[in-house]
Amino acid sequence: MTATLLHGLAAAGVFLAWAVCALLCATGLLLAMFSISGTWLVLAAGIVAALLTGSAEFPGWPTLLGMLVVCVAVDTGEWFAVRWGVQRRGGSRAAGWLALLGSVSGAVVGGLVVPIIGNLIGMLLGCFLPVFFYEQHRLKKADGAVRIANGAVLAGLIVLLQKVAATTGMVLWLAAGLLF
C-alpha cells in the first residue's frame, strides 16, 4: 500500500513538473508578445526539464548555455536598439538615452495602468514622447523631431519582433529536443 502510494505521488510530481515546463514556455511566449522578455522563463523551463531528464539527456549543459546566450543577447540588444534607432535618424545622444529610459518606464507604468497590453502601449509612447519633445526643443522643428522619434518607435517594434522570434525559437528548440 505504502509503495503504491509513493509511486503514485512520484508520478504526480513528475507530471506537475512537466506541466510547469509547459506553463513557463507558454507564459514566456505570451510575455514576449507584450514587450516583456520571456526568454528567461523558457530558460527556466529548460532547467526544470534538465532536472527531470537527467544530465545525460536533452537538454544538457550545452543547450542550457545556448539558451542563456540567447537570453543575454535579446536583453542586451533591447538596451541598445532604441538608442541606435534615434541616433541613426540624426537624434542626439541625450535623445537616445531618453528613448531607452522612456521605453522602460513607459512599459512599467503602462503595465500598471492597463495590465498586459499597457506594457506595449507604454513602451511605444515612452519611446516617442520624450524623444519628440527633446528633439523639437533642440531642433526647433517638429518634422525633424517626429522623424527621430519615429526611429525610436521603429527600433522598439523591431525589438518586440526579435523577442517574440527568440522566445518562439527557444520553445521550439526545447520541445523538439524533448520530443524527438
pLDDT per residue as tens digits for the range 108-156: 899 899 887 888 899 899 999 999 999 999 999 999 999 999 999 998 8
Residues 100/155, Cβ–Cβ less than 8 Å = no
The pLDDT, as a whole number, for residue 41 is 96
How open is the CA angle 34-76-99, to the nearest 5 degrees?
65
In angstroms, the CA 150 to CA 180 distance is 44
Question: Which alpha helices (DSSP H) does 59-141 contain, by range?
Answer: 61-88, 93-113, 117-139
Mean pLDDT of 88-100: 90
How open is the CA angle 22-117-77, to the nearest 5 degrees?
70
The pLDDT, as a whole number, for residue 66 is 96
- Position 28, amino acid: G
Q: Mean pLDDT in the chain?
A: 89
